[in-house]
A and B are shown apart, each in its own frame.
Chain A
Amino acid sequence: MKTLALTAFVLFAGGARPAELHVFNWADYFAPDTVSAFEKEFNCKITLDYIESSETLRAKLQGGRSGYDVVFPSDEVMPGFIAAGLLEKIDPAKVPNLKNLAARFRGLPYDAKNEYSIPYMWGTTGIAYNIKQVSPPPDSWAALWDPKYAGRATLLDDALEAFAASMWLEGADPGRPTADAIEKAKQRLLKARPLAYDSSPKQRLIKGEAWLSQCFNGDALQAADAAERSADIGYVIPKEGGTQWIDNMAIAKGAPNSDLAHKFLDYLLRPEVSAAISNEVFFANPNEAAQKLIKKEVLENRFANPSEEDLKRCALLSELPTDLKKKLDDAWAEVKGSGSGGISFLMVGAVAMVVVLVVLFMIVKK
């Protein structure tokens, strides 16, 4: 019996069972061979799950036993994640390729010492527009409020971003909002008549349902590509300003294989790996060493790589402190709940009510 158990143990543990790495990333965020090449080189197996939203990611990480090793949080949730202890510290000694990071992506406000995160890809939020229908091309967030395009504009279904658009118009800085700015921005948003609040307006832009969309640059680019007449969708960072967002790689608290996780981070920082990803997903890349390996068409693409002056106008959004967050949540609920179908329907509803009562009366009266 003992020998049997021992043999089983030896076979089981000593056998060539490859190590496992659990990665939780956004969809379509790797090059076709990124994962498989790593698996081959390090003799391991990667299981890849897709993040649907930052809320999803937060929910998964809470409890500290998510089962994930490497995760990809975006910049605005980082302070909250760090404070809640959802991430593990990264050991810089195990990630020598950190040196490849461009200087301006180190020590960012949301993780001053790069202890918990390494920038992965970055981009902007601006306005994607239908070139044929929107003439002259928009240069201001006010275009989304323009009555000429009423019912043809969409805003992102995200409180921070939608309010940012409104705040830019109020002359406030969405990176550092105040209660007053939120209130003013809310009043402006209540006057908006968007087609929809949509965080993925690609389809609507392609189909021509929406002519102006508050949009992530990556989505705008994919829409322009897919429209098969790629000149039709343009993208602009409005003159008042836009958002810069940065997606990061990080290690989840309680990661089953912290060592391998560090190796994966290091691997992703290799210039050729990083460049391959940028070439595939067309997002801008914080990796200095990778820049020379990135295709010219990506580097020169105005969607993916904004000009310096454009970038100067961009702000990093971050999650708000509790009291302001409450104010924003309430304001957002009010904006969402206002809708424009209310008034006419109240009237129709009243008429229907009258009809119902009359019929009931007739029935009861017999």
Chain B
Amino acid sequence: MKARFVALLVPPTLWLAIFLVVPAAIVSANAFTAEGLRHLASPVTWTLFARSFSIALVATTVCLAASYPAAYFIAGCAPRWRNLLLFLVVLPFWTNLLVRVYALKVVLPEAFQNSTGAVVFGLVHSFLPFMILPLYASIEKLPRRLLEASQDLGASPWMSFWKVTVPLTAPGIGAGCILVFIPAFGIFALPEFLGGAQAWMLGNQIELYFKKQQGSTAAGSALTLLLLGCTVALTGVYYRLRKTEGLV
């Protein structure tokens, strides 16, 4: 029995140790060198960090605002429609992100392109499915009677929404925000296509260091570590605020 369990546990753990933990350790080792630390402390890095954080935050907020009404509507539909609508929402997620971003580039008016606004728009557009699904899952579980009770007690629909619906769907909101913010924070191909010279983000700089400049591995590792650290911190906070079973 024990042997069987070990047989199950060891292979994936070993794999992840070699291809996740060791690389992370090497990145840390590269980052904590003189060169790496110099880059970590440099104002260029922090400007990039602030810009990437802001862009990801704005994109997440807009995505949330744009997704909530749609998720709410879908949750209120008959099951047959629900499944169809969800399918339509998820379908783009299964397609290539680069293709979708390129399609945006083709369609967006020229005046809007090569700007930070275009990048935010692109992010919102690309990550809508990531936000709609968790929101939907949360809203769908809401007991309708609570809303009725709230209105019976004299609250306006608007107040019921803010005081009952939103707090109760907080898990969905949280999940959606994390699912959008983290990839948005580290993205690089999208800002390169849509942002021109304006929206240069952490991911772009990391790519520059690793792929375009020889001998900048320490710099690239430093920024990667920064990104990783931030992500882990945010995820940690998120998990603190909710409970999980199994691996889901």
What residues on A are CB-neighbors of B115 within 8 Å?
A: 341
> Which of the residues A195, A333, A334, A352 comes within 8 Å of B57, measured between beta carbons?
A352
What residues on B are CB-neighbors of A363 within 8 Å?
A: 166-167, 170
- Provided the pairs A196-B114, A333-B205, A362-B162 are in contact, do residues A349 and B50 lie with their beta carbons within 8 angstroms? yes
Total cross-chain contacts (CB, 8 A): 97
Cβ of A329 within 8 Å of any chain B Cβ, yes or no, is yes
Cβ of A348 within 8 Å of any chain B Cβ, yes or no, is yes
Min CB distance, A20 to chain B, in Å? 31
Chain B residues 32 to 81 lying within 8 A of chain A, measured CB to CB, are: 44-45, 47-48, 50-51, 53-55, 57-58, 61
Min CB distance, A161 to chain B, in Å? 14
Q: Are A346 and B50 in contact (CB under 8 A)?
A: yes
Q: Are A341 and B53 in contact (CB under 8 A)?
A: no
**Interface SS, A side:** helix
Q: Are A339 and B51 in contact (CB under 8 A)?
A: yes
Q: Are B61 and A209 in contact (CB under 8 A)?
A: no
Interface size of A in residues (CB-CB distance below 8 Å): 37
CA distance A209 to B105 in the complex (A): 13
Q: Are A338 and B58 in contact (CB under 8 A)?
A: no
Contact residues on B (Cβ < 8 Å of other chain), bracket:
35 or more
- Provided the pairs A345-B54, A349-B54 are in contact, do residues A207 and B110 lie with their beta carbons within 8 angstroms? yes
B interface footprint on A307-340 (CB within 8 Å = 1, 0 otherwise): 0000000000000000001100100111011111
Min CB distance, A264 to chain B, in Å? 30
**Interface SS, B side:** helix
> Which of the residues B54, B57, B208 comes within 8 Å of A336, measured between beta carbons?
B208
CA distance A338 to B51 in the complex (A): 10
CA distance A286 to B54 in the complex (A): 52
What residues on B are CB-neighbors of A355 within 8 Å?
A: 61
- Provided the pairs A336-B205, A339-B200 are in contact, do residues A349 and B58 lie with their beta carbons within 8 angstroms? yes
What residues on A are CB-neighbors of B50 within 8 Å?
A: 342, 346, 349
What residues on A are CB-neighbors of B195 within 8 Å?
A: 341
> Which of the residues A209, A346, A362 comes within 8 Å of B54, measured between beta carbons?
A346
Min CB distance, A205 to chain B, in Å? 13
Chain A residues 161 to 219 lying within 8 A of chain B, measured CB to CB, are: 193-197, 207-209
What residues on B are CB-neighbors of A194 within 8 Å?
A: 196-197
Min CB distance, B112 to chain A, in Å? 12
Q: Are B44 and A341 in contact (CB under 8 A)?
A: no
A interface footprint on B175-207 (CB within 8 Å = 1, 0 otherwise): 000000000000000000001111110001100
B interface footprint on A51-64 (CB within 8 Å = 1, 0 otherwise): 00001000000000
- Extra pairs beyond A337-B47, A344-B116, A346-B51 (19, CB < 8 Å): A194-B197, A195-B196, A196-B114, A208-B110, A325-B215, A329-B213, A333-B44, A333-B205, A333-B213, A337-B48, A337-B200, A338-B200, A341-B116, A345-B58, A349-B50, A349-B55, A356-B61, A362-B162, A362-B166
